[in-house]
Structure 1
Amino acid sequence: MTLVVGGNPIEDVGTRHLANLLRNLRHEAVIALHSALNLITSNKFKKARKVFEHALNLDPSNSEILVEYGQFLEYHHNDLINAEHYYTRALVKQPTNLRALELKKRTLPLVEEIDQKYFYFIDNILKEFYRIPDTNPYLRRAKRNAYYLHIYHSNGIEGNTLNLRETQYIIETHLAIGGKSLIEQQEVLGLDLALQYVNCTLVNRLGLITLEDILEIHRRVLGFVNPIEAGQLRKQQVYVGSFIPPIYNDLPEYLDDFLKWLNSLDDTRDLHAIELATIAHYKFVYIHPFIDGNGRTGRLLMNLILMKFGYPPVIIKKSERFIYYSHLKQANDGDIRPLIRFIAKCTERTLTELIQQSQTTKITRQDLRLNDDYDNGRNFIEERVIIIE
């Protein structure tokens, strides 16, 4: 039954109001675009950038604004990577946009060259990492620290509130901490078990990555929290914000296609290890095969692939979760390269920190440097030092 007020159905009034609001926002965005272009002609580039960003906030789907902002970044900030990203976004919204097609065709090879140079730079850091003997006590300590950090940050991304000391204590003792969420403590135990399984069973095993491998990882991730759903494909529809993953009836087909791609040399031979691991991570979380634990399982799968190529497990810090989520959304919108570059930066950071922490210091006592995560408005975190007597 439709409620009628003043002779007009409420639904119709609400729909017309929303349509008028969106129309006004789009009109205001066009006005802002013209204002930004006028500011450019007056050499007021700083103000122009702010007005461009305002225009995109008003109408993120306007391909003309996306193209003009891309050109502004390319010519006035020498930012080819972000310029090409905006050209790509314009084409996602309007595939027939001739200007965007021409600009992307011109900039894409240059951006790909920049990306490949960065991968080469990371590969050289990896070579430096492998020059450190496995017997180096500082390196062994750094790897142990990284193990705790991986569990702490991966759980923290999903909302776990345990701090690093508490996470380490639970891993080492398997004892509960009074006054803390039992579920959050079980999440630590589950991720610890799953990471051990990846490290001790899957990394050095020859052969393909199988569905059973993924199910076994998830069975450990969720086993303490929800043993009924652990290792089981979901049997209901789930929603991730505004994103709607595939319906559960289609999961076997999606996973089969995913694993065929992942294990196919023809499809993956030209990809760098970081590209392959990132794309695999994205494809997996897009499918979202489980009722819970998809992010943690997906990051373990990503690190399994990286470790098979000789990289150490990469840590995404919980303070970076919103950046991480925004890159996943950009991948949903048609451009996965921001996510690949983000994982590449995390890889570089992980390698650099391991190398730095493996260096001999003049400190007489052994300090265990654990990078706990306090988001104080900066991208990175403050350090907490636990002194081991």
Structure 2
Amino acid sequence: MDALLKKYDSLVLNYNKVIVESFNPVDFQEYNEILFSAHSCAVEGNTFTVAETSALKEQGLSLKLQNKSLYEAHEILDHFKAYEFLFNNLSQPLTEDLIRQTQQILTQNTLKFAKGFEPGEYTDTQMAAGDTVFGDYKTSIARMPSLVAATQEAIDKAELHPLDISARFHQFFIYLHPFPDGNGRTGRLISNFILAKFNQPHVIIGAVEKASYIEALKSSAKHKDTQILTAFFAETSMYRMQQEIDQKKNLTRNFIMSFDPPKKNK
């Protein structure tokens, strides 16, 4: 794990130099907001592409929806609002109220319509997802204050690697599963909020990584080893950072501009 995190830290330094520092900060935040919102919602089944998510960010509900539901549009728009609520004030401490506010904003226009629950309220019934039945919901909710306090203490002490703090929170939160809906999206938002406090890049998990993501969560819980999820976070983040670095370099080096007429085949 130490070797992987050292490799991650080295890539972060290069990523900051090549990508982050070349952006206007406002533009870079919007880039991340769109990318993260599209992919995090896609993990839950939303069909908006990154390009369509970008158009929705620009045009809002005036966007002409083609083969998309109003529900999906609201899901993305609410994700934007939750993202901005967190990332426009990184100095705010992690509290139980902050997590509930995030989930409330995230599900404001979908939860009551889809499941009849009030946004921001903890579940009042047993929770399950896929083939996983989570622990007793009353016990899980009672554990939330301890999770929040322990996470904030880890943030304050900064003895663990930021990826490890983020992954540990994510693992424990997902398995507490305190809300009737939006646990995955809320967990990914808060995990990246933690990373941003340490000036670390986002861990963006897309639909293509969904199976590996779920397997990492299950393996971490089964073996009581959060380093499995930390490794998944590191590898996922490194892959995206390297992709963006390579894309910038390739487009810079291999750009061809010609106004010559096309060559005729002999």
Partner residue in 1 for 2:52: 166
Superposed counterparts of 1:49-68, under 5 Å: none
SS at match of 2:215: helix
Superposed counterparts of 1:109-258, under 5 Å: 115-132=1-18, 136-137=22-23, 144-175=30-61, 176=63, 177-201=65-89, 203=90, 205=91, 208-227=93-112, 228-258=117-147
- Normalising by structure 2, report the TM-score: 0.82
1:246 aligned partner, one-letter code: G
1:199 aligned partner, one-letter code: F
Give the CA deviation at 1:266: 10
Q: Distance in 2 between matches of 1:137 and 1:124?
A: 20
Partner residue in 2 for 1:295: 184
Give the CA deviation at 1:250: 2.5
Cα displacement string for residues 180-221 of structure 1 (whole angstroms, at most 9, x for unaligned residues): 2221111111111111112102x2x15x31011101111111
Q: Distance in 2 between matches of 1:199 and 1:133?
A: 19
1:322 aligns with 2:208: no
Give the CA deviation at 1:139: 8.6
> 8 Å contact 2:171–2:217 — kept in the other structure?
yes
Give the CA deviation at 1:149: 1.8
Query: 2:152 is matched with which residue: 243, 252, 263?
Result: 263
SS at match of 2:242: helix
> 8 Å contact 1:125–1:348 — kept in the other structure?
yes
Alpha-carbon spacing, 1:134–1:280, altered in 2? closer, same or farther (3 Å): closer
Q: Distance in 2 between matches of 1:240 and 1:198?
A: 26
Alpha-carbon spacing, 1:358–1:213, altered in 2? closer, same or farther (3 Å): farther
Q: Distance in 2 between matches of 1:274 and 1:257?
A: 20
> 8 Å contact 1:136–1:358 — kept in the other structure?
no
Alpha-carbon spacing, 1:130–1:320, altered in 2? closer, same or farther (3 Å): closer
Structure ranking higher on relative contact order (CA contacts 8 Å, 6+ apart): 2
1:346 aligns with 2:236: yes
SS at match of 2:131: coil
Alpha-carbon spacing, 1:354–1:249, altered in 2? closer, same or farther (3 Å): same
Percent identity reads: 26
Moved more, 261-270 or 233-242: 261-270
Q: Distance in 2 between matches of 1:356 and 1:140?
A: 23
Partner residue in 2 for 1:305: 194
Moved more, 246-255 or 327-336: 246-255
Structure number with greater Rg is 1
Alpha-carbon spacing, 1:134–1:118, altered in 2? closer, same or farther (3 Å): closer
Moved more, 245-254 or 178-187: 245-254
- Normalising by structure 1, report the TM-score: 0.58
Alpha-carbon spacing, 1:364–1:218, altered in 2? closer, same or farther (3 Å): farther
> 8 Å contact 1:134–1:140 — kept in the other structure?
no
Give the CA deviation at 1:252: 3.9
Alpha-carbon spacing, 1:249–1:141, altered in 2? closer, same or farther (3 Å): closer
Alpha-carbon spacing, 1:143–1:353, altered in 2? closer, same or farther (3 Å): farther
> 8 Å contact 2:8–2:238 — kept in the other structure?
yes
1:263 aligned partner, one-letter code: Q
Alpha-carbon RMSD = 2.7
Runs of at least 5 residues in structure 1 that lack an aligned partner in the other structure: 1-114, 366-389
Alpha-carbon spacing, 1:358–1:138, altered in 2? closer, same or farther (3 Å): farther
Query: 2:252 is matched with which residue: 340, 361, 367?
Result: 361
Q: Distance in 2 between matches of 1:223 and 1:263?
A: 26
Moved more, 314-323 or 163-172: 163-172
1:181 aligned partner, one-letter code: S
Alpha-carbon spacing, 1:309–1:358, altered in 2? closer, same or farther (3 Å): farther
